[in-house]
């Protein structure tokens, strides 16, 4: 249904390294294909808006009118995953608009102009491309997901040092008579881990964003 993998030869490097090994973006796209093939919903977010009704078409988002034409309040469910390209871009949700009037449009999310995966630096696309669906770079949900990922890694590192300190032999085992007095430092990791857990709990909750299609002259 969606064009998840590249058809243009000039974009193959986005998905494959040396034409053979998938990049992070390649694995990210195939993850969705495998999930759908096994009957799952896929893990890449899909924002599919029916312009004629102003409601969700097929996607995984809650869509409401933002009070003006072609402007919508969108909350994805759940928070979609993302991946990084070689250039460090965050490749996020697939966005599509059904029953969109003919013309050329750019997409702004919370006022920020979005760039799309298949067109590189281009921001203005014709109606047909928006109908087909395009993945966007560095959207707010991708940035939130990346922040969540980094926070989880930081929490895991803190927990690892709490669970298995490097000098465990000197702190708790047969050489603790040498440096065992320093063992009092280890429980101090607990509040740090707890703080990260609270941060993770907030970051994992999807947030509302305003999607606005803006008619443009190409």
DSSP conformation class of 80? P
Neighbours of 2 (CB within 10 A): 18
pLDDT in tens, 169-182: 655 556 676 665 66
**DSSP result, 179-207:** HGGGGGGGGGHHHHHHHHHHHHHHHTS--
How distant is the alpha carbon of residue 34 from its chain centre?
18
Is the pLDDT at 198 greater than 90? The verdict is yes
DSSP 100: P
- pLDDT at position 67: 85
For residue 8, give both structure tokens. Answer: 């243009």
CA-to-CA dists, residue 141 to 156, 165, 169, 194, angstroms? 22, 35, 44, 24
pTM (predicted TM-score): 0.76
Domain extent listing, the chain? 9-137+205-216, 144-203
């Amino acid at each position: 249904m969606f064009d998840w993998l590249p058809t243009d030869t000039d974009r193959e490097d986005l998905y494959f390294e040396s034409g053979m090994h998938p990049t992070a973006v390649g694995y990210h796209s195939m993850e969705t294909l495998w999930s759908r093939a096994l009957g799952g919903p896929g893990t890449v977010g899909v924002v599919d808006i029916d312009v004629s009704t102003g409601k969700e078409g097929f996607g995984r988002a809650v869509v409401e009118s933002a009070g003006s034409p072609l402007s919508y309040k969108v909350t994805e469910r759940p928070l979609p995953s993302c991946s990084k390209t070689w250039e460090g871009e965050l490749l996020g949700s697939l966005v599509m608009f059904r029953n969109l009037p003919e013309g050329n449009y750019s997409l702004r999310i919370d006022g920020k102009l979005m760039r799309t995966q298949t067109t590189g630096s281009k921001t203005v696309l014709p109606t047909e491309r928006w109908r087909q669906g395009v993945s966007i770079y560095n959207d707010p949900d991708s940035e939130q997901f990346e922040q969540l990922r980094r926070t989880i890694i930081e929490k895991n590192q803190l927990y690892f040092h709490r669970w298995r300190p490097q000098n465990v032999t000197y702190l708790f085992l047969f050489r603790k008579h040498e440096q065992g007095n320093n063992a009092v430092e280890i429980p101090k990791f607990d509040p740090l881990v707890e703080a990260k857990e609270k941060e993770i709990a907030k970051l994992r909750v999807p947030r509302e964003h305003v999607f606005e299609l803006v008619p443009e002259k190409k």
